[in-house]
């Protein structure tokens, strides 16, 4: 329960952080879709640990194995199974954490709910679970790109209190990947890297904000009333580890405007397409995509597991102190960029299939 997402384009992830492997079963992918496995691996490489001096030093190749669902590079329409084996496991790093709960981590709540939990690495609460999401979403991205030319692109907008001024319409994949923090503003990116390094040396962590744009989004995605597109995007993105906030379009800033200032005026078109003068709606109106770029932001809290000594309790409720000896990101955002793209792509692919099934009969 709780490990499956989507209605038609459905993913079920499995595995623990320090178990034998993690992965995903993707069901509902249309047949005869040509898949490039190298693109799946490229997305996983952007997510994997040990990729730079500001990420966890855990050394994992995260090499994907495609076990089913393809003949050559063509999908069969049957379940696609994707597996990544855990190689660099160190359960001994977590021996103290088996007795004491990490503040703001899932240890205490998992124990309270189940009465048992994975003894090391956070188990299913670890960001390592997202490997399956990223792998499946790489297929979703290829589906969206081939059918509608849709691009899903995310980047780091803020680290701690350092925020970059970014024109989302001008950001490219090359801009994002030009530095290790994945901020398309090169000048601000250097300050972000320095801040992460400073906080890491203190044995502490920091959070921030990731922004994401969807270009050439299909029109008509989203369902009234409970399955509005932004509602499903919010659920998807808030299911990622360490997320604490979501907004689309003008978001909370839009609350400072009057209706006359916030409304997106319609522009005349020759082909009947929806075109607006502004995009405060963030590409979604009435819960349905209107064809304008979808723009959203996700807030990530500071990494809960830190080297600084913290007051906590043990499994019996007795007071104790804890300092982490494991390998953890001082800031999750650089590696969370492909995770954000993944959840957005999975939502869009699922709604695309639902739209095709409901509205393209006549």
What pLDDT was estimated at residue 328?
A: 82
Can you give the pTM of this predicted structure? 0.95
| DSSP bridge pairs for 34 | 74
Q: What is the pLDDT of residues 14-23, one digit of tens each?
A: 999 888 999 9
Q: What is the pLDDT of residues 172-211, one digit of tens each?
A: 999 999 999 999 999 999 999 999 999 999 999 999 999 9
Give the confidence band of 70 by pLDDT, cuts at 50, 70, 90: very high
Domains of the chain (ranges; CATH) run 4-359 (3.60.150.10)
Q: How far apart are CA 46 and CA 28, in angstroms?
A: 26
Give the confidence band of 322 by pLDDT, cuts at 50, 70, 90: confident
What pLDDT was estimated at residue 93?
A: 53
Q: What is the pLDDT of residues 266-303, one digit of tens each?
A: 999 998 889 999 999 999 999 999 999 999 999 999 99
Long-range contacts of 319-327 (CB under 8 A, 24+ apart): 320/99, 320/100, 322/96, 322/97, 322/100, 322/101, 322/102, 322/103, 323/203, 324/97, 324/102, 325/93, 325/96, 326/90, 326/93, 326/94, 326/97, 326/121, 327/49, 327/56, 327/57, 327/58, 327/90, 327/93
What pLDDT was estimated at residue 90?
A: 58
Give the confidence band of 30 by pLDDT, cuts at 50, 70, 90: very high
In whole numbers, what is the pLDDT of the chain averaged over residues? 93
Cβ count near 162 (within 10 Å): 20
Q: What is the pLDDT of residues 210-269, one digit of tens each?
A: 999 999 999 999 999 999 999 999 999 999 999 999 999 999 999 999 999 999 999 999
What pLDDT was estimated at residue 75?
A: 98
Residue of higher predicted confidence among 349 and 116: 349
């Amino acid at each position: 329960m709780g490990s499956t997402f989507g209605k038609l384009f459905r993913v079920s992830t499995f595995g623990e952080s320090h178990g034998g492997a993690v992965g995903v079963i993707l069901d509902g992918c249309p047949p005869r879709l040509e898949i490039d496995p190298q693109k799946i691996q490229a997305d996983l490489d952007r997510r994997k640990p040990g990729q730079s001096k500001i990420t966890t030093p855990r050394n994992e190749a995260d090499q994907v194995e495609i076990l089913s669902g393809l003949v050559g590079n063509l999908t069969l329409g049957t379940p696609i199974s994707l597996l990544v084996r855990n190689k660099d496991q160190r359960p001994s790093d977590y021996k103290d954490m088996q007795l004491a709960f990490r503040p703001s981590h899932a240890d205490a709540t998992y124990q309270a709910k189940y009465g048992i939990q994975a003894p090391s690495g956070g188990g299913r609460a670890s960001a390592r679970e997202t490997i399956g999401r990223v792998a499946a979403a790489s297929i979703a991205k290829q589906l969206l790109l081939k059918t509608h030319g849709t691009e899903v692109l995310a980047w780091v907008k803020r680290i701690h209190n350092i925020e970059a001024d970014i024109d989302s319409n001008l950001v490219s994949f090359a801009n994002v990947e030009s530095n290790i923090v994945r901020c398309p503003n090169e000048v601000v990116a250097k300050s972000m890297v320095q801040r992460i390094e400073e906080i890491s040396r203190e044995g502490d962590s920091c959070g921030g904000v990731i922004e994401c744009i969807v270009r050439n989004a299909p029109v008509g995605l989203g369902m009234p009333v409970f399955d509005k597109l932004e509602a499903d995007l919010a659920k998807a993105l808030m299911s990622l580890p360490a997320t604490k906030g979501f907004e689309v379009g003008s978001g909370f800033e839009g609350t400072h405007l009057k209706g006359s200032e916030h409304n997106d005026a319609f522009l005349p078109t020759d082909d009947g397409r929806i075109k607006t003068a502004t995009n405060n709606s963030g590409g979604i109106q009435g819960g349905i995509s209107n064809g304008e770029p979808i723009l959203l932001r996700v807030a990530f809290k500071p990494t809960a597991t830190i080297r600084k000594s913290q007051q906590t309790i043990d499994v019996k409720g007795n007071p104790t102190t804890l300092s982490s000896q494991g390998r953890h990101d001082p800031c999750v955002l650089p590696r969370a960029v492909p995770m954000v793209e993944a959840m957005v792509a999975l939502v869009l692919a699922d709604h695309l299939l639902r739209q095709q099934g409901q509205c393209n009969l006549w």
